[in-house]
Every structure is written in C-alpha cells, then in structure tokens.
C-alpha cells in the first residue's frame, strides 16, 4: 500500500509493506517477518514519462522471527537471553520504478539496514535485501 504526493517532476511517497527476510546456511534457516515503512523522495525523469528514481529512510518493524541457536557464542549471549535481536531498525532504500499511464506501478529497489540486527556488538550483520514490487495506483494527489 502506498500514497504519493507529486509536484512537477518531484514526489514524496510513503509505503506500508510486508517483507519476509532471512538467510540459509547448510542445515540452518532463519526467516524474519517485517513491516516496512519507507518515506521516499522520487524524481520522475521528464524525458522518460513514468520512469522514476527514488531514495529515502525506512523504518523496519519486526513482526515475527524464528529462533536462532547461538551455540557457537555462549560467552557473548548468556543462556536464556532471548532479547538479543532488535525489534525495530532504520534502513536506507533506493531504486528505480516505472508508473504506466493506466496506473500500474513497478519498482526494483535495494534496502540496507543502518544498524546491526543484534543489540550486542559482536556481530556486524545487517539486513540487506533486493525487492521487486508491482502495484496499482488508484488515485494520486498533486500533478
């Protein structure tokens, strides 16, 4: 779901998105479920009607996560401590999109977290994900 306010070739867009993000290594698999709320500044390229570039900050709220076994780091995460992952993070998003005259909206973007997934300092891992989206613009405000 998204909303956009456009003035001339510039626009502000706010989205509400669901994303399943995770990793898989050998016999281990982890999937976290997020509500993503990006606020994007968009520039519609005048020579290519509908083509746009966008970037902006994004709030990532974790809705549900699979548990991870950290047997390899018992000295860093004490046994029984389950609150080691962040439930809310800030990311940056940027990409390219195209809005067809009929209202069909397609986009490809890359999101990268600006902070570590874990509250502890031992792991610098961050979420990073490529996303592709297809949507339909029912109405717009502005131009």
Q: Which are the contacts of 101, defined by CB distance < 8 A and separation ≥ 6?
A: 49, 50
Q: Global pTM? A: 0.78
Neighbouring C-beta atoms of residue 22, cutoff 10 Å: 13
* Closest-CA residue to 97 (of 7, 37, 5, 11): 11
User: pLDDT by residue (tens digit) across 53-105?
Assistant: 999 999 999 898 775 554 544 444 455 555 567 788 899 999 999 999 888 99
User: pLDDT by residue (tens digit) across 11-35?
Assistant: 999 999 998 887 766 666 778 889 9
C-alpha distances in Å from residue 61, one per residue of 65, 79, 102, 105:
11, 25, 32, 24
């Amino acid at each position: 779901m998204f909303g956009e306010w456009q003035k001339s070739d510039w626009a502000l867009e706010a989205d509400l998105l669901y994303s399943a993000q995770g990793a898989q290594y050998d016999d281990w698999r982890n999937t976290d479920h997020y509500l993503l709320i990006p606020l994007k500044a968009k520039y519609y390229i005048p020579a290519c009607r509908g083509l746009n570039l966008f970037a902006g900050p994004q709030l990532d709220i974790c809705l549900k996560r699979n548990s991870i076994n950290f047997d390899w780091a018992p000295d860093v995460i004490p046994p029984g401590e389950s609150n080691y992952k962040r439930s809310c993070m800030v990311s940056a998003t940027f990409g390219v999109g195209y809005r067809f005259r009929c209202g069909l909206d397609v986009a490809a973007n890359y999101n990268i977290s600006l902070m570590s997934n874990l509250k502890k300092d031992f792991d610098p891992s961050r979420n990073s994900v490529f996303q592709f989206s297809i949507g339909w613009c029912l109405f717009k405000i502005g131009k």
